[in-house]
């Protein structure tokens, strides 16, 4: 898909390696320990790709061979914000790449009276407006929760171009809903699936990510 990827959708390279990881986590026979292990490998790739999007400045170092290496270093600070509960599964992958990274959390649940997403809890780093933010939620289905979470980030002063929404599986409807509201926010995804079924689950999909990662 990468050649014709919509603007601001960054799809991980669809290598055989990545495909083999998705084959394991999509398989309904896969047991929880394998689901966690192989999801974590994909999460790590998503985080690395998110980091790849951040600006750098030149940095020159001397090597033990007496040579000079013209390299780069990252500019700015980052933080992660997970959408509870499934998004918390992506926190460790971020920590593995960014030691002592700050992490915020947002809880959004469906209001049983209105059937609309409702914000129940938010705890974000004080200085979040000065950071690059990785918004973490493994499944971009309708985009309702991600849209609400992003509104919270914007209300705290985070600029759209500093937000990166990382997910394992997305779909065209969710991407379009999200980008109608936030065209300048980059979505980093490992797979763009066919669509949503009548229960608003992603198809082809993998079922309920949070249940498979934490419970089943």
Cβ neighbours for 178, distance < 8 A, ≥ 6 positions apart: 140, 143, 146, 147, 150, 165, 185, 187
Q: How far is the CB of 87 from ligand URA (least distance, A)?
A: 11
Residues 167 and 135 sit within 8 Å (Cβ to Cβ): no
Does residue 162 carry a catalytic annotation?
A: no
Task: Note whether 202 binds ligand URA by CB under 6 A.
Answer: yes
Using DSSP bridges, classify how beta strands 102-110 and 117-123 pair: parallel, antiparallel or unpaired: antiparallel
Least Cβ distance, residue 99 to ligand URA (angstroms): 29
The pattern of x and - marking residues 128 through 167 that bind ligand URA according to CB under 6 A reads -----------x-x--------------------------
CB of 95 to ligand URA, least distance (A): 22
According to the binding rule CB under 6 A, does residue 179 interact with ligand URA?
Answer: no
Q: Are 85 and 73 in contact (CB under 8 A)?
A: no
Burial category of 183 from C-beta neighbours within 10 Å (exposed 0-12, middle 13-18, buried 19 and up): exposed
- Of 25-33, 100-108, 112-120, 207-215, the window that binds ligand URA (rule: CB under 6 A) is 207-215
Establish whether 150 is a catalytic residue. Answer: no
Closest by Cα among 45, 212, 41, 208 to 139: 208
26 binds ligand URA (CB under 6 A): no
Among 85, 98, 201, 214, binds ligand URA (CB under 6 A): 201
32 belongs to the catalytic site: no
Of 104, 157, 150, whose CA–CA distance to 130 is shortest? 157
Per CB under 6 A, does 205 bind ligand URA? yes
| 89 versus 125: smaller Cβ distance to ligand URA | 89
Partnered with residue 108 across adjacent β-strands are 119
| Catalytic choice (32, 110, 194, 204) | 110
96 a catalytic residue: no
Only one of the segments 6-14, 62-70, 107-115, 200-208 lies at the binding site for ligand URA (rule: CB under 6 A); that segment is 200-208
Residue with tokens 């047991």: 31
Residues 77-116 that bind ligand URA (CB under 6 A): 86
Q: Please calculate the CA angle 18-24-28 and round it to the nearest 5 degrees.
A: 145
- 């933010």: which residue's tokens? 133
Residues forming the active site: 110, 114, 208, 211
> What is the binding site for ligand URA (CB under 6 A)?
86, 139, 141, 201-202, 205, 208-210
């Amino acid at each position: 898909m990468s050649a014709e990827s919509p603007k601001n959708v960054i799809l991980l390279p669809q290598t055989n390696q990545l495909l083999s990881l998705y084959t394991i986590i999509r398989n309904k026979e896969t047991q929880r320990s394998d689901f966690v292990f192989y999801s974590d490998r994909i999460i790590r790739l998503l985080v690395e790709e998110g980091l790849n999007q951040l600006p750098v400045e030149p940095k020159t170092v001397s090597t033990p061979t007496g040579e000079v290496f013209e390299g780069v270093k990252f500019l700015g600070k980052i933080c992660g914000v997970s959408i509870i509960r499934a998004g918390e599964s992506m926190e460790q992958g971020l920590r593995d790449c960014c030691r002592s990274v700050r992490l915020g959390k947002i809880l959004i649940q469906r209001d049983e009276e209105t059937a609309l997403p409702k914000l129940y809890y938010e705890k974000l780093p004080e200085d979040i407006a000065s950071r690059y933010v990785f918004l973490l939620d493994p499944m971009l289905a309708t985009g309702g929760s991600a849209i609400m979470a992003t509104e919270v980030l914007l209300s705290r002063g985070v600029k759209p171009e500093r937000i990166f929404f990382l997910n394992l599986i997305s779909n065209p409807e969710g991407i379009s809903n999200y980008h109608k509201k936030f065209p300048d926010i980059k979505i980093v995804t490992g797979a763009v699936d066919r669509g949503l079924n009548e229960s608003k689950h992603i198809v082809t999909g993998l079922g309920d990510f949070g249940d498979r990662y934490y419970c089943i």
